Structure 1
Amino acid sequence: MKSLRKILIVFLLVSLSAFLLLGCSEDEEALAPQSDLERNGQKISFSGLSFTPWDVEEVVSQVDEQEHKPYTIMLYLNGSDLETEVGMATGDLIEIIESGFNEENINVLLLTGGTLKWQNGVIPSDTCALFWIADGDLQFIADIGQRSMGDAGTLASFIDFGMAAFPADKYGLIFWNHGGGSIAGYGVDENFDYDGLTLLELNLALEKSQASNTKLEFIGFDACLMATVETAAIAKDYAHYLIASEELEPGYGWDYSFLADLSANPQLGGAELGTIIADKFVAFYADSGEDATLSVIDLSGVDDVLQAMGNLMAACNEDFSEANFKEFAKSRKNTKVFGGGSPRDNACDMVDICDMAAQLAPYYQDEAEAVIQAVENAVVYLKSSEGVKGAAGLSTYYVFGGKEQAEKSIEIYKSLAMNPHYTNFLVNFASELTGESIAPLDLSEQIPEMNEEGDYTIQLTPEELDNLLEIYFTVWEPIPGEEEYYIMLGESSDVEIAEDGTIVTEFDGVWPGINGDFVCLYEIGRTGGGIKYAIPAVLNGEDVDIIVVFDEANPDGRIIGARPLSGETGMAAKNMHKINKGDRLKFLYYAEYFGEDESMELEEWYEGEEFTVGDKLELEWLEVNPGEVYLYGFYLIDVQQNEYYTDFVEVEFIE
């Protein structure tokens, strides 16, 4: 018999055992079921959502009656680009099989789909299929036809099938793929125009499945950014625990050796099992430098979190006005953010709830403390690496960096029927954020000057400073042979603000580089006492951001890996590529034309020279070219996320 187990990581797979063709009939139509559900006193509407179930009874009838076991784990394996491009789903399947779990105590069942090309010869790419793990290998159950993994009916039918065909004392449901937080939801299907499950569609699927009658022990997301209070609010009616990450997950996702622990102790509840999963997950990435965090949330505590958030936001709404918007904006700026995007990628605007409350505590102490206490009660276990210290276990959507999509995102949020006080706050905040400028900065007279110490300065009034959130200095290098075109080497927040409003920074003519070339650095977050940057690049023909961190342990910087851009999926990338010897790499730079010829393109991305990676790829500090004229200036962001540049001063370093 041909086996997935035998091929190991090289994916030398072969064909299927007996193949049952049990696809749905051609005349099935998508449904838009009506709903009598309410949440927080608000009607939940499923109108217009696709719901196309498959014939569960017929598929169950083709399966031999299974012995009742302590656990059935259902894995919703939407491979998408993660499988097509890198074979990550296949890698995790091998990990599951090689975990050696005791099949007498647990069932592991999976639905595969969403993938243009499975990187093995067992799972079909042109249809969705059911499998289970038996006799130490992947066993085919049925072909259910090509259908979207982003259709609520596909998921609901899978849950129903798992509970009917593989009865157990407890059930766990794991979602494998991309995650995009509360607005984007879960997953993308390559075969159906990157269709995914919004949280509302997830709600529909769970409500129309047997999970509405028999609660799952846990719902887990082996996906980015799904430990949100909005996810938890939906899951609480259908499961006892939620296991998910507030942050982007590293590419290899969960460590599935936890299945052996579960089969050895099948009496484990969701909290105990979640603790094992979280510990193994974070430990797996301990040496790689990749950030990892996983929360185990007791869903019985979510209503208290929502109530406390509502009380806090009701107080905020009472005080909300254009005059004090900037104080809310400053607290938002200082709140811990997850999934931060670079200039070429998207911001998903997910923030830590406890940190959000802590930033508001100076104004609303009692309400903020109640939020923090409610989250601490609900999050029964949390494991994080050093880079995500400060994460408390539950996040929420808070519009800011993605202001261009604010109107659409707020409408999606409204449809979730979360706490009305928080929803109203988001509406008010977004209205000011995207409205007319409160106090536009006039920087026409601002040109950086050099003081006696050789530092560069600009002078702002107290009013101007009060309307600013961020101040950076930027350095621009001329492009050889391209007159009046300059590339940005990056931006740095290493500036000082004097009491009189003087902004002071220094540039000593040294800038980070790799392989003898300067690199363009964009600050994307502060983590555990350090600063994380993205370097735009192309790795083996794929657009990526090279992620680097500067902290106490790595004062000269450390390269973590290369994260692909969200691209067509629209989701934050889950996979972080390691950069290996022999890889082809070139750096990208944001370029602008500073001349007066109106026919010239004002801005573009400039490609550096491609090179082949050698034995080591390390950051280095490079001196600017003596005699070359560089541009130096300040970049400022106000409370409404409007961006400003000062005029630039020419800087020339003499050898």
Structure 2
Amino acid sequence: KSVTLSLTDLSKVGKLIEAYDTFGSECLYEAIKDPGFFSQFARAAYSSENYGGNTKEQGYTNMVDLGDLAKLTSNTLASSVYVLSALDECVIYQVRGQYRVMANGLSCYYSYNGDIDDFIAYAPLGAGTAFKYYFSYGLTGELDENGMAYIAEKGFTALPKIQNLTTLDWDGAPLDLDEEGTAYLYLGPDAQDILAGIGFQLFYVDEENDFIMLLGSDNDIIADWDNGVFLDNFRGVWGAIDGCLVYMELKTEGADYNLYSVPILLNGEEYNLQVVYDFTYQVWSILGAWKGIDEKGMADKELRLLQEGDEIITLWKLATFSGDDDFVTYPIETLTVTADTSFTEVTLFDGTYRMVFEMWDAMGNYAYSDPVQFDCVDGMIITTVFED
């Protein structure tokens, strides 16, 4: 369901590289005219098919599907049409699984983690020139002498300052309750020029026993990008394997489905279970288990299907509530895979939960709102926000 395979006519690659470089040039010039473009382009990249993890839990390969990225920016970037045309000529055969339907056969670099060292390692190897200057400007705020000469050909002599989460005071942003008792975060219209994305992290809190559990991340919120208003959509449920609650991390947010990563021990070995939620059919599916990224930065090419008799140990991330210690992963429940093993949402057990809005920008910076608290008791949810 998540397989991709393509056959490329290498004699046509030259035209594709030329189109890709034109695409990069347009991105660079749009960013110079309005640095808010970095955030707009980043949101397209986060919504595009991407490969090799690209999450904090799994690690980063920083590879995005070139065709999907071009399609998602076709309404703003004229050069995307040339990329798609050249790609269509270049990729002469392709297989796409049900949950890789937006794959187009070839991928390109995108800095999902905002790591400058990763970019420096990529720059001498990557095709084309323009995107190297685009990422150099986006990640460092400046260009070298060659880069300044490159943009001077289009009449640009200076680079405007880029606003991002390091220049704003959005970490610890306060929350309010609306008339219906829903918690919301107000950032204003500037949010669409600053943020590459926004979601949330969910925690279970036990003050009496002094521990807090990180359940994971998701994007199940109500977002009004035009006005910069983001509302919680807490429903008192979370993901589970055969009823066993798990840590889960959003991997890819798409129009038709979301992909999640669930770290587990599979027969004693570390794996990331790949799980999909299909918006059309409103069902969860387990795609298989993935080894992740090795020490050399290479992503595992195989997705291991679960087999009856496999032993899965679920993992939770715990820390003390009163301290400032990092979350530590602990093995929790052991289950045996059967023909009926499935991933579903389950109702959270009674207790106190806290959610923070998680914001990130195109440079890989993160900020977190104040928490909203949900007390779940006998099917009721009581929502509380805290004043500074």
Contact 1:547–1:563 under 8 Å retained in 2: yes
* 2:218 paired with 1:492: yes
> Do the aligned residues in 1 keep the contact of 2:247 with 2:315 (CA within 8 Å)?
yes
Q: Which residue of 1 aligns with 2:194?
A: 467
1:382 aligns with 2:94: yes
Partner Cα distance (1:319, 1:651) in 2: 42
Task: Provide the C-alpha distance between the structure 2 equivalents of 1:363 and 1:507, rounded to a whole number of angstroms.
Answer: 34
Structure 1 residue 346, shift from structure 2 partner: 2.0
Q: How does 1:58-69 map to 2 (within 5 A)?
A: none
For the residues of structure 1 that align with 2:162 and 2:99, how far apart are their CA atoms? 37
8 Å contact from structure 1 (residues 410, 426) kept in 2: no
Give the aligned residue type for 2:352. V
Q: 1:591 to 1:637 in 2, by over 3 A?
A: farther
Distance 1:634 1:617 in 2: 32
Equivalent residues of 2:39, 2:192 under 8 A apart: no
**Greater RCO structure (CA 8 Å; 6+ sep):** 2
Q: Write the mapping of 1:305-454 to structure 2, written as runs, cut at 5 A.
A: 305-321=16-32, 324-335=34-45, 336=48, 337-365=50-78, 367-398=79-110, 400-404=111-115, 406-415=116-125, 418-432=127-141, 438-440=164-166, 441-443=168-170, 446-454=173-181
Q: How does 1:40-51 map to 2 (within 5 A)?
A: none
State the AA in 2 paired with 1:333.
Answer: R
* 8 A contact 2:354–2:374 mirrored in 1: yes
Deviation string, structure 1 residues 202-239 (Cα, Å, up to 9, x no partner): xxxxxxxxxxxxxxxxxxxxxxxxxxxxxxxxxxxxxx
Name the SS for the 1:427 alignment partner.
helix
Question: Does structure 2 conserve the Cα–Cα contact (< 8 Å) formed by 1:447 and 1:649?
Answer: no
Structure 1's 646 and 412: CA in aligned 2 closer, same or farther, altered over 3 A?
closer
Distance 1:357 1:624, change over 3 A: closer
Give the distance between the partners of 1:395 and 1:473, measured in 2 at CA.
Answer: 28
Q: CA deviation at 1:350?
A: 1.5
Report percent identity of matched pairs: 23
The alpha-carbon deviation at position 480 of structure 1 amounts to 9.4
Equivalent position SS for 1:308: helix
Q: Distance in 2 between matches of 1:517 and 1:479?
A: 19
Q: Which residue of 2 aligns with 1:637?
A: 360
- Distance between the aligned counterparts of 2:255 and 2:340, measured in 1? 26
Q: Distance in 1 between matches of 2:348 and 2:69?
A: 41
AA aligned opposite 2:54: G
| AA partner of residue 369 (structure 2) | T
- Give the CA deviation at 1:522: 1.0
The 3 A distance-change label for structure 1 pair 403 and 443 is closer
Q: Does the CA contact (< 8 Å) of 1:556 and 1:619 recur in 2?
A: no
Residues 563 and 437 of structure 1, relative CA distance in 2, 3 Å threshold: same
- Show the counterpart of 1:556: 283
1:471 touches 1:493 (CA, 8 Å); kept in 2? yes
Deviations, residues 175-222 of structure 1 (Å, cap 9, x unaligned): xxxxxxxxxxxxxxxxxxxxxxxxxxxxxxxxxxxxxxxxxxxxxxxx
Q: Distance between the aligned counterparts of 1:541 and 1:468, measured in 2?
A: 39
Normalised to the residue count of structure 2, the TM-score between the two structures is: 0.81
Q: Which residue of 1 aligns with 2:158?
A: none
The alignment covers a number of residue pairs equal to: 355
CA distance in 2 between counterparts of 1:393 and 1:347 reads: 20
SS in 1 for 2:123: helix
What are the ranges of 5 or more consecutive residues in structure 1 without an aligned counterpart?
Answer: 1-288
Please list every run of at least 4 consecutive aligned residues from structure 1 whose deviation after the TM superposition is greater than 6 angstroms: none
Contact kept? 2:54, 2:113, Cα under 8 Å: no
Q: For the Cα contact (< 8 Å) 1:487–1:606, is it kept in 2?
A: no
Structure 2 runs not aligned, ≥5 long:
143-160, 379-388
Q: TM-score, normalised by structure 1?
A: 0.50
- Give 2:8's aligned residue: 297
More strand by share: 2
Distance 2:220 2:130 in 1: 38
For the pair 1:605 / 2:329, whether they are aligned, the reply is yes
Amino acid at match of 1:294: L
Give how far 1:373 is off.
Answer: 1.4
Residue deviations 1:124-160 (CA, integer Å, cap 9, x gap): xxxxxxxxxxxxxxxxxxxxxxxxxxxxxxxxxxxxx
Change in 2 beyond 3 A, CA 1:645/1:372? same
- SS of 2:283 mapped into structure 1: coil
> Following the alignment from structure 2 to structure 1, what is the Cα–Cα distance between the partners of residues 123 and 365?
24
Which residue of the partner structure matches residue 653 of structure 1?
376
Asked if the contact 1:443–1:645 (Cα under 8 Å) also holds between the matched residues in 2, the reply is: yes
1:309 alignment partner AA? Y
Alpha-carbon distance, 1:527 to partner: 5.4
CA distance 1:612–1:482, shift in 2 (3 Å):
farther
User: 1:327 deviation in Å?
Assistant: 0.9
Once the two structures are superposed, the pairs formed by residues 570-609 of structure 1 within 5 Å of their partners are 570-595=297-322, 597=323, 601-609=325-333
Q: Distance in 1 between matches of 2:281 and 2:95?
A: 23
Write the deviation string for residues 57-101 of structure 1: whole angstroms up to 9, x where unpaired.
Answer: xxxxxxxxxxxxxxxxxxxxxxxxxxxxxxxxxxxxxxxxxxxxx
